[in-house]
Amino acid sequence: MSKLRLGPIIEEKPMKLTVELPGSLYRDLSDYAKAHGRETGLSEPLPPERLIVPMLERFIASDRGFVRSRGMRRS
């Protein structure tokens, strides 16, 4: 299996957000949680909802257009 893009999960004070996912996406997320648990050596995989935040953070950080436009606003 190739390396997963998602690394260890860091704890931070949460903000509440409710999201509805299609069943197929939730199943994929559950499967990803199992693979992530195996790759990172966890005895039990994290609940799938714990993966959403780091996945979104990684997605946003890798979006060059967003990062560029955000940098222009902060200048």
The answer to the question of residue 68 being in a domain is yes
The domain total for the chain is 1
The answer to the question of residue 1 being in a domain is no
Q: Which of 44, 43, 56, 42 is nearest to 12 (CA)?
A: 56
Domain of 51, in residue numbers: 23-74
Dump pLDDT digits (tens) for 38-65: 999 999 999 999 999 899 989 988 888 8
CA geometry: angle 6, 8, 11, nearest 5 deg: 120
Dump pLDDT digits (tens) for 14-32: 878 898 999 999 999 999 9
The answer to the question of residue 18 being in a domain is no
pLDDT at 37: 95
The answer to the question of residue 43 being in a domain is yes
The answer to the question of residue 8 being in a domain is no
State whether residue 3 is helix, strand or coil.
coil
